[in-house]
Structure 1
């Protein structure tokens, strides 16, 4: 069976689902192709994965109707403390000085997934295929034909615009002939949960050292999410440590700002690589989220950047729909790519440059880092700029980032 739609979103993860919700009811027919069957995960665990959401992301999820479904399980980030092990100086950001109640929030990824799933079920015009995958993609002048394999067999969907939201190993990106540039940082990220002696009380702690960055994220019940980067050749041994040895190691990396750490949860390890698409667009196709760029997780920028991708695209597609335009028109896609350039380039430069500068052991960099932290902490314009970027407001924010639909 062949079906025509205006927009087809390949990838039903956090970014793809957010885009589908944003486009629902805009006057266009939209299909969402999800590799996994929709399933609510109602079983919280001590060591589940957590997301640090920028304020702009919280605002956007509020505008999409998702945040009211998950807010009760979120922990506000009211302060951020950034320092470098063994060096003087720190950058301290707080919500009150920016005239907001929180700089962002920490939320279990499971909870955000559940909230998005609930909101997807309220969509009135969305066509969903799950579980299903895109097996082939054939572009033509006015549409792209996609062969979809799913629970009910194989079908062809023809779309005026295909959105690749299908992750780092994006099928859509490859099928469109878009290449990538990859950088292996030689590091592994170990993610777990601990209970610090002193409650973080809404403070996110980020600390750099020669071994890489480490972060503590505030959670409910005095818990903290621990995000620890280690060299690849050490990762297996560190992940295999018993609890006492791992806590002792983590303590040397985190320091004592939160007191003694205890109760480490199950540890998850992820290799850290940067994968950048050579271009964001192809004829009648566009990339968002990790399909467009998978970046170093420093500062938890990945999902926040991907959500801004999706909602910038949504604004432009919705505007085109209201004007009776083509969602896959070359000028629309070129305008989207241009609109994303400042935020994308700035975030990439920040994440890559910061990890290289802050974790470089070269002695001449030490006084420069100290001076930089002191200046940023004491010079109000620099501090406000850092806070604004951290809250996800880089360049011209979308209506969603300001908490409203376009």
Structure 2
């Protein structure tokens, strides 16, 4: 027996769950196929990473009713300082200068995951299939017939006029649609953990570029910080086997002493870093969102912020549409997302190439650029607004009026 749904979302991670919630809030029925059981400990994207959520992202989470379940565990970011080891100058962004209470917030991914799950439990029009997987898709008149297999081994067919791939970097939906990708291996691995600094960060976040890659330090509750440390892939195994004292010394050498001594590193989780960009974010009655559409370098913490804007733009466009998979609607989705998507991917890639790689001849130019951005208020303001996630053609849910 074949059932039907206006929209089927493959992938119940952070972006897929957000899309499902946004659709339900708009009164649109959907099916969400989740590979993992609907519990925080079972969902691989609800992990130990500490997410830097842009202000626009938090606006979006408020609009779909998720932030109420996460706000008390989030830490405001009121100041961001960006610098480069060996160069002079830095770029400083301050919430007070922008007339807002925070530029963004830091939140562990598992805490955001728990908030999403709690909000999903309140959805009225959403059908959740979990744990389950999309095994096959077949073109049908006016849509797709999707074969979904549950943990019981039983295959079920769902017809949908719009199939959404929210199933991550290795997207099976993207592969079955035949959409090619462009990949770039940065030859780097990322380590994330929490640490305790000697001095309270007081809402300050830091991004430090080095020859070996960027280091980010994010404020957390209880005077802890989230450390995001990039290392050369050849060094990853060595770093992974360091004891706490050795890792603390390693992180200290890379980040410096802005917060005094760093100690008590928590559980360390490594991630490979690669850039994966789909040649197209839409297909025939199909859309890719989040990491299925683009996986960017973690520099600047743009991954989930970008993916949520994907999800909320799609939800906005299909609201009130008689046919959510209409070709003109999907072309409009691609048009709206193109500047944000391409600009963010280009920026993150350029920062890695220009700010992190050892290029001594560029050092004076990098320093001059940082001094200019920091000392010229209109440029700093524009950079701050971009850092807060405000983009052209942004979905209505993330917008606000700021100075």
Which band: TM-score by shorter chain? over 0.9
Equivalent-residue separation in structure 1 for 2:223 and 2:27 (angstroms): 46
Task: Judge conservation of contact 2:188–2:273 (CA < 8 Å) in 1.
Answer: yes
Aligned to 2:34: 34
Partner of 1:388: 385
Cα distance in 1 for residues equivalent to 2:84 and 2:26: 48
Matched, 1:104 2:104: yes
Among 337, 340, 343, the residue aligned to 2:337: 340
1:341 and 1:70 map into 2 onto residues whose CA distance is: 30
Q: Deviations over 1:307-339 (max 9, x none)?
A: 00010111001142xxxx210000001110010
The whole-number CA distance in structure 2 between the counterparts of 1:240 and 1:73 is: 31
Aligned to 1:149: 149
* Residue of structure 2 in register with 1:268 after alignment: 269
Aligned counterparts of 2:72 and 2:90: Cα–Cα separation in 1: 31
Could you list the per-position Cα deviations for residues 267-304 of structure 1 after superposition, in whole angstroms to 9, with x for gaps in the alignment? 11111000110100110100000000011000110010
Partner of 2:115: 115
Tell me the alpha carbon deviations over residues 215-261 of structure 1, each in whole angstroms, 9 at most, x when there is no partner.
Answer: 10000111011100010111111121121111111111101111111
Shift of 1:402: 2.2
Q: Distance in 2 between matches of 1:167 and 1:392?
A: 21
Which residue of the partner structure matches residue 291 of structure 1? 292
Residues 1:221 and 2:222 aligned together: yes
Aligned partners of 2:214 and 2:25: how far apart in 1? 43
Q: Report what 1:360 is aligned to.
A: 357
For the residue of structure 1 that corresponds to 2:5, the secondary structure is strand
1:63, 1:403 within 8 Å by CA — same for their partners in 2? no
Which ranges in structure 2 are unaligned for 5 or more consecutive residues? none
Confirm or deny: 8 A CA contact 1:139 1:283 kept in the other structure.
Answer: no
| TM, length-normalised to structure 1 | 0.95
Q: Is the 8 A contact 2:48 2:192 kept in 1?
A: no
Aligned partners of 1:166, 1:388: CA distance in 2, in Å?
A: 30
**1:138-189 deviation line (CA, Å, top 9, x unaligned):** 1134010000000351110000000000001111101101011110000000
Structure 1 match to 2:282: 281
Say whether the 8 Å CA contact 1:273–1:295 is kept in structure 2: yes
Which residue matches 1:331? Answer: 328
Equivalent residue of 2:301, what SS? helix
Q: Which moved more, 1:132-141 or 1:272-281?
A: 132-141
* Matched position secondary structure for 1:300: coil
Could you say which residue in structure 2 is the equivalent of 1:252? 253
Structure 2 residue 313 is matched with structure 1 residue 316:
no
Q: Distance in 2 between matches of 1:108 and 1:72?
A: 12
The match for 1:4 is 4
Matches within 5 A, 1:119-198: 119-152=119-152, 153-198=154-199
The reply on whether 1:88 has 2:88 as its aligned counterpart is yes
Which of 359, 369, 373 in structure 2 is aligned with 1:372?
369
Moved more, 136-145 or 293-302: 136-145
User: Shift of residue 266 of structure 1?
Assistant: 1.6
SS in 2 for 1:215: strand
Instruction: Tell me how far apart the structure 2 counterparts of residues 127 and 236 of structure 1 sit (CA, whole Å).
Output: 42
Could you tell me how far 1:40 is from its partner in structure 2? 4.2
SS at match of 1:122: coil
Q: Residue 127 of structure 1: CA displacement?
A: 1.1
The Cα shift of 1:86 comes to 1.7
Query: Which SS does the other structure have where 2:149 is aligned?
Result: strand
Kept in 2, the 8 Å contact 1:84–1:209? The answer is yes
Task: Quote the Cα distance in structure 2 between the aligned partners of 1:49 and 1:271.
Answer: 13
CA distance in 2, matches of 1:40, 1:294: 23
1:208 maps to 2:209? yes
240-249 or 203-212, which deviates more: 240-249
Deviation at 1:25, TM superposition (A): 5.0
1:343 and 1:395 in contact (8 A); partners too:
yes
Which ranges of 4 or more aligned residues in structure 1 deviate by more than 6 Å?
A: none
In structure 1, C-alpha distance between the alignment counterparts of 2:40 and 2:174, rounded to whole Å: 29
